[in-house]
Amino acid sequence: MERPGAAWAAPGLAFFFVFALLPMAGVVYLSFTSWDGLTSPKFTGLSNWNQFLSDGAVWQSTLLTGILLVGNMLVQAPLSILLGVWSAGYQRNRAVLSAVFFLPLLFSTAATSIMWRQLLDPNFGVPSKLGWLLGGNANLFGSQWGAITSLVLVTSWQYIPFHTLIYQGAARSIPETLYQAAAIDGAGRVRQFIHITLPQLRNAIITSSTFMVVGGLTAFDIVLLLTDGGPGTDTAILPFKMYQTAFQTYDFGYGSAIASFLLLVATGISLLLVKASGYDKMTSTMEGL
Amino acid sequence: MRDTISRRQALGGMLGIAGAAFMATACSSSGSSAGTGSAAGTGSATFWTLQDPTNKIQQAAVTSFNSAGHGKITLDIVPSAGYLDKLRTAMGSSEEPGLFFSWGGGNLDYYVQAGKLVDLDPSLKSHFLTSALQAGTSGGKLVGVPCRGTQPVFIFYNKDVFTAAGAQPPTTWAEVTDLVAKFKSKNITPFTIAGDANDSWTELMWIEYLVDRLAGPGLFAKIQGGDWSQWNDPAVLKAAQTIAQLVDSGAFGQNFASVTYGTGGTSTLLASGKAAMCLMGSWEYANQQGISASFAKNGLGYVTFPAIEGGKGDPANVVGNPSNYISITKAAPQQTAEDFLATTYSTSYLKGLIAMGEVPVTANAGQLLSGAPDPAYAGFLYDLVSKAPNFTQSWDQALGSTLATPMLTEIQKLFNGQDSPQQFVSNVLAIKK
Amino acid sequence: MKQRPNYAAGVAAVTWLLIIGVPLYALINTSLHGESVYADGGPLSAPTHLTTVNFGTVVSSGFLRDIGNTVVVAAMTVVIVLLFGVPISYAVVRGRGWTSSAVFRVFLLGLAIPAQAVIIPLFLIINHLGLYDTLWAIILPTAAFALPVSVLVLSGGMRDISGSLYEAMALDGASPARVLIQLVIPLSRGAIATTAVFAALQAWNGFLFPLIMTQSGSDKVVTLGLYNFVSEYGANVPALLAAVLLSAVPILIVYLFARRYLVMGLMGAGGK
């Protein structure tokens, strides 16, 4: 009798329905229409979807989204793990440095992007003064790799502290006894790291990766403020392409098709994450400890 | 098991139907939510305008209008980042403004086709120069009246840099090529340009002038009129090839793709002497004043875009923004809004604009120009525009954002070397099928 | 762990310190310089000729109101997320029958779904509800899309409460409400803190929703304020960076006074 009935979840579910589920259904519906934002949508059947399937630009966007995601993970995951484990130590200098490491998190993504756009200006920013380091003309935003590197740099700068904290918390809860046993066995630092630390961080790695993937699918503001999808369309990731199609070219029907595709990919990723993490098995990690 | 599956399916189906039904009602009601404002005589209206130093002149006009008792106008100053897109969103929302500022051209056409704008009284035309009214006309009807000075595009140059190099501003294309080589050898960027993805309209200006000089204004007029296949004209390819040559010869410097427009970008580069010239609209003068008033007065030179040998276009033609326009939507109280339009040609308003360095496009503007703070500059602008056989509107404004956004992307790619001139032409052609 | 000092890690940590420190130095340095000094010297110039004029410029442009709006948005988002999230998680963890696991699955499905994908219909719904150009237009969708992660974290926290405690309260004849208030909420403080921090950060970082859903100056939030600032001040870089610096102040204040909860909240996301 002390168990809550389904009615407890009803208000929240209704709220989620109106502001999340209904819009999702709406996006799919709109993808079958043509709408300019001013007049009523006209039902056009599969025309948007036909265009979508033959649109090279959309596939390029999808590829770019994947590239950026992988690039970010490759840079952020190792650094965050190393920094997190390092700062889990209780030495005082580590505490002070950890406090400094936290600082990028104080800024919103928009603030960070705007700040970095200025700092990376070729004539007045850091590259102009550090020409010897960056080799020559510091035209970061003029090449695809320059632009992608800038995006990964800025995203990492902002989010590595966040992931570091996740790993720091997880590393601190690794029982000391495991390390002591390994030390007795003669395992050196590197082996301890590989065979004890990393496996114990498994849940943290999953959590951190979840956030990275979700972040990659929504990294709209950084792209808009740093490269505006440029040069040309070289960093026009899917969320950006959707925004541009709908709100700058006023083709809300096609924009909805792109958005529906984004939804599909995201739902697929959610399912994969849930399977990989075992979230839906509803087990506590405290069990058996 | 079978029960739960069918229950889930039922839920899913219901969700889908509910969603579609809701969307259908929501969409159609938003389509008709506009026009249910107080469309009667007098009342209050919002006037959306772009954020800009002339806002204080506008505010003064609004304040004095409000005190006259014809109704109440509220000036809503909207920052320029994505102004047209924001306006578009607002026009489709329940918060449609009663009056708004725009560049006229193709973007107004959308609103006219959606039935959102009010046709304005044709007698208003008598107050303005005919050439300036064209961008405010859609389908033969007047839907926007000029409310700003004219903004032609021409070459600004740094006089000190030229004197030090012993050079003269260019009047022919051959001279341009010489100057490019000369400044490059001195490590000065000949022409500064903002190749950043946000600012590719600065690159568009080059294409506008090249095509106009090579083929005359008729070519773009046809494109604007709906004949997209005109992009196939050899003049377009020639213009694109000229751009490629300029880029390759270092006319724009090496890192222009990362340079932004304005202060901290092209304007500062010109003012500091790191660049010699900049093709820009007349508003650049105000930018320069913001950086250094003494440079703007003494060191800033200006000259028209040179002629191109063998081109069909009249070298006296001009591209740029003929003006900016106020339009009235159906959500405004009609009497109040129309009465407010009279401020655009009132002497106090015009004098205010002139004092800020603008050259208005009213029929009587010439006489009022003596009050300009820099008479030489104002005179230059006025002569340039009044003597121009043709004033082509900036292509991105003339075509409207649906076509302009992808066009600007291709232009950026051309300048950045990502598109060859031939690819540029075929990609632009593919924008509209 | 008493071992010989880890030089490699130390070097890496110092390198990272530079990577964080240099841009931050550039930020603070530039915001304290006048425009002409910046044009000559760049962001890494020496800290001479300092001035606070930029902060005056920023404040007089109404930036403080933007910060105020953002604080309101963040606070209300947290309130709504907790108001709905806690009962949902409670029902998921302690409820019986297929409904509770179905509800959980619904939220899990929404885990990776980006709010931006549905901005177009959301605009229509918000418009229809007459909420366009109000702070609610930002708060409600942000809260809704923060629910999946929040439900995940909250239910994870609640699940860790030992079953025997529940049974004890059941023997006492407690109603579900009493169990929630007296047992579940106190014992899932950590998860609640994590959820609150996450929801607040989502709201704080929100950019696309404010961009599309609001227009007037009175409900501008900080991210939009910065974006507009770029065009408003013709890229007066020192003033712009001063605005960036100011935008971090609220979180800095939270950090200084509630550092423990902030860090615990962020750490708790992976602490299990």
What's the DSSP call for residue B196?
A: S
C160/A284 CB distance under 8 A: yes
pLDDT at C14: 79
Asked whether the predicted pLDDT for residue B29 surpasses 50, the reply is no
H helices present in chain A, as ranges: 10-16, 22-30, 47-53, 56-87, 92-101, 109-119, 126-129, 131-134, 144-172, 176-184, 189-192, 198-200, 202-218, 220-226, 238-243, 252-277
What domain range is A141 assigned to? 56-276
**B-chain residues near A21 (CB < 8 A):** 15, 19
Q: In this structure, is residue A103 part of a structural domain?
A: yes
Q: Give the residue-averaged pLDDT of B170-190.
A: 93
Residue B189 β-bridge partners: B275
- Residue A121 placed within a domain: yes
Task: Measure in Å the smallest separation between the Cα of C44 and chain A Cα atoms.
Answer: 7
The least confident of A235-244, B255-264, B399-408 is B255-264
CATH of domain C62-220+246-268: 1.10.3720.10
**Phi, psi at B281, each rounded to 5°:** -80, 170
Q: pLDDT, tens digit, for every residue of B268-310?
A: 889 889 999 999 999 888 888 877 888 888 899 999 999 999 8
B18 at A interface, C-beta within 8 A: yes
Closest Cα to residue B251, out of B278, B219, B271, B233? Answer: B278
Measuring CA to CA, how many Å separate A49 from each of A39, A45, A46? 21, 8, 5
Q: What is the band of B28 on the pLDDT scale with cuts at 50, 70, 90?
A: very low
> What stretches in chain C show pLDDT beneath 50?
1-2, 270-272
Ranked by mean pLDDT, the top range of A70-79, A278-287, C182-191, C216-225 is A70-79
CB atoms within 10 A of CB A172: 15
Question: In this structure, are residues B101 and B324 in contact, taking their beta carbons and an 8 Å threshold?
Answer: yes
Does A203 reside within a domain?
Answer: yes
Residue C2: what pLDDT? Answer: 46
Residues of chain A contacting C101 with CB distance shorter than 8 Å: 282
Residue B190 three-state SS? strand
Cα distance between residue B145 and residue B125, in whole Å? 8
Name the token pair of B29: 């009601």
What single string gives the DSSP state of each residue in A84-137?
HHHHTS--HHHHHHHHHHTGGGGS-HHHHHHHHHHHT-TTTSHHHH-HHHHTS-
pLDDT of residue C1: 44
Question: Shortest CA distance to B72 belongs to which of B38, B49, B102?
Answer: B38
Taken as a whole, chain B contains a residue count of 433
Token pair 């003929």 is found at: B322
C-alpha distances (whole Å) from C162 to each of A11, A285, B305, B353, C159 are 27, 12, 80, 75, 8
The helix (H) or strand (E) run that includes residue B204 is helix B201-215
| Percent residues over pLDDT 70 in chain A | 91
Which tens digit of pLDDT belongs to each residue from B51-83? 888 888 999 999 999 998 888 999 988 888 788
- Which distant-in-sequence residues (6+ apart) come within 8 Å of C256 by Cβ? none
User: Do strands B72-78 and B44-50 pair parallel, antiparallel, or not at all (unpaired)?
Assistant: parallel
**B268 Cβ under 8 Å from any chain A Cβ:** yes
Q: What is the structure's pLDDT at B92?
A: 85
Give which of B257, B403, B358 is closest to B54, Cα–Cα.
B358
Q: Give the Cα separation of A238 and A226 in Å (integer).
A: 16
Tell me which DSSP letter residue B307 carries. Answer: B
Question: CA-CA distance, A211 to B248, in Å (whole number)?
Answer: 44
Average pLDDT over residues B135-144: 91
- B358 has pLDDT over 70: yes
Confidence check: pLDDT of B421 > 90 = yes
Closest CA relative to residue B35, chosen from B144, B137, B115 = B115
Return the bridge partners of B154, or none: B280
Interface of B with A in 361-390 (CB under 8 A): none
Amino acid, single-letter form, for residue B177:
T
Alpha-carbon distance of A64 to A231, in angstroms, equals 13
Cα B170 from Cα B181, distance rounded (Å): 13
Confidence of residue B142 (pLDDT cuts 50, 70, 90): very high
Whether B93 contacts chain C with CB within 8 A: yes
Using CA atoms, how far apart are residues C124 and C129, in angstroms rounded to an integer? Answer: 9
C contact test, residue of A1, A16, A238, A284 with most C CBs within 10 A: A16
pLDDT tens-digit profile of B321-342? 999 999 999 989 988 999 999 9
Structure tokens at C16: 């990272």
Distance CA C6, CA A85 (A): 12
Contact between A225 and C227 under an 8 Å Cβ cutoff? The reply is yes
CB within 8 Å of A42: residues ≥ 6 apart: A33, A34, A35
| Cβ separation C38–A124 shorter than 8 A | yes
Asked if C232 has any chain B CB less than 8 Å from its own CB, the reply is yes
Q: How do residues A168-191 score in pLDDT, each as one tens digit?
A: 878 887 888 888 888 888 877 788
pLDDT at B179 over 50: yes
**pLDDT of the residue at C267:** 63
Contacts of C86 (CB under 8 A, 6+ apart): C154, C180, C184, C185, C192
- The tens digit of pLDDT for each residue in B101-120 reads 999 999 999 999 999 999 99
Query: Burial, B375: exposed, middle or buried (Cβ in 10 Å; 0-12, 13-18, 19+)?
Result: exposed
Distance of CA A122 to the CA centre of its chain: 27
Q: Does A36 touch chain B (CB under 8 A)?
A: yes
**Of A67, A24, A4, A96, residue with least CA distance to A259:** A24
Taking residue A43's Cβ as centre, other Cβ atoms within 10 Å add up to: 11
Question: Three-class SS of residue C32?
Answer: coil
Q: Is the peptide bond before C43 cis (omega within 30 degrees of 0)?
A: no
Dist CA A212 CA A264 (whole Å): 18
Domains and their CATH numbers in chain B: 44-149+322-380 (3.40.190.10), 151-320+400-429 (3.40.190.10)
**CA neighbor of C272 nearest in space, from C174, C195, C157:** C157
Q: Does A43 touch chain B (CB under 8 A)?
A: no
Mean pLDDT of chain A: 82
DSSP state at residue C121:
H
On whether residue A284 sits in a domain, the answer given is: no
Q: Can you give the pTM of this predicted structure?
A: 0.84
Query: Residue B393 pairs with which residues in a beta bridge?
Result: B320
**By C-alpha distance, which of C230, C203, C237, C233 is closest to C67?**
C203
Burial group, residue A103, by CB count within 10 angstroms (0-12, 13-18, 19+): middle
Asked whether the CA dihedral B61, B63, B65, B67 is positive or negative, the reply is negative
Helices (H), chain C: 7-31, 35-41, 53-60, 63-94, 98-109, 119-128, 136-159, 163-171, 176-179, 185-187, 189-205, 208-213, 222-232, 237-247, 249-268
- Burial level of A260, CB count in 10 A (0-12/13-18/19+)? buried
Interchain contact, C236 vs B263, CB within 8 Å: yes
- Which of C100, C233, C240, C241 to probe the B interface (max B CBs under 10 A)? C233
Summarised one tens digit per residue, pLDDT across range B248-279 is 999 999 889 888 887 778 888 898 899 999 99
Q: Quickly state the pLDDT bin for A271 (edges 50, 70, 90).
A: confident
Domain CATH for A134: 1.10.3720.10
What average pLDDT score do residues A239-253 get?
Answer: 89
Interchain contact B168–C (C-beta under 8 A): no
Tell me what the mean pLDDT of segment B143-153 comes to: 93
pLDDT of A228 > 90? The answer is no
Radius of gyration, CA atoms only, chain B = 24
Kindly state whether residue A35 falls inside one of the protein's structural domains.
no
Amino acid A137: pLDDT: 56
pLDDT of residue A130: 65
Cα(B11)–Cα(B25) distance, integer angstroms: 21
Residue with tokens 């010489």: B178
| A165/C266 Cβ within 8 A | yes
Gap between the Cα atoms of A201 and A173, Å rounded: 9
What residues in A contact C208, CB-CB < 8 Å?
A: 220-221, 243
Q: In terms of DSSP bridges, do strands B151-158 and B275-281 run parallel, antiparallel, or are they unpaired?
A: antiparallel
Contact A130, A148 (CB under 8 A): no
C-alpha A226/C-alpha A237 separation (Å) is: 13
What does the pLDDT read at residue B232?
Answer: 94
Question: B188-236 pLDDT, tens per residue?
Answer: 999 999 988 888 899 999 999 999 999 999 999 999 989 999 999 999 9
| Lowest-pLDDT choice from A67-71, A156-160, A207-211, B163-167 | A207-211
Above 90 in pLDDT, residue A268?
no
Cβ of A6 and C95 within 8 Å?
A: yes
CA atoms of C200 and C142, how far apart (whole Å): 10
Closest CA to A52 of A230, A257, A251: A257
Question: In total, how many domains does chain A have?
Answer: 1
For residues B285 and C180, what is the distance between their CA atoms, to the nearest angstrom?
Answer: 67
Within 112-171 of B, beta carbons closer than 8 Å to A belong to: 114-116
Cα distance between residue C259 and residue C253, in whole Å: 9
**Cα distance between residue C58 and residue C102, in whole Å:** 50
Which is nearest to B16 in space by CA: A76, A22, C133?
Answer: A22
B329, two tokens: 């939507």
Reading the block at residue A43, the tokens are: 């039902």
Domain boundary assignment for chain C? 7-51, 62-220+246-268
Instruction: Report the SS3 class of residue B311.
Output: coil
State the best of C216, C219, C229 to mutate against chain B, taking most chain B CBs within 10 Å. Answer: C216
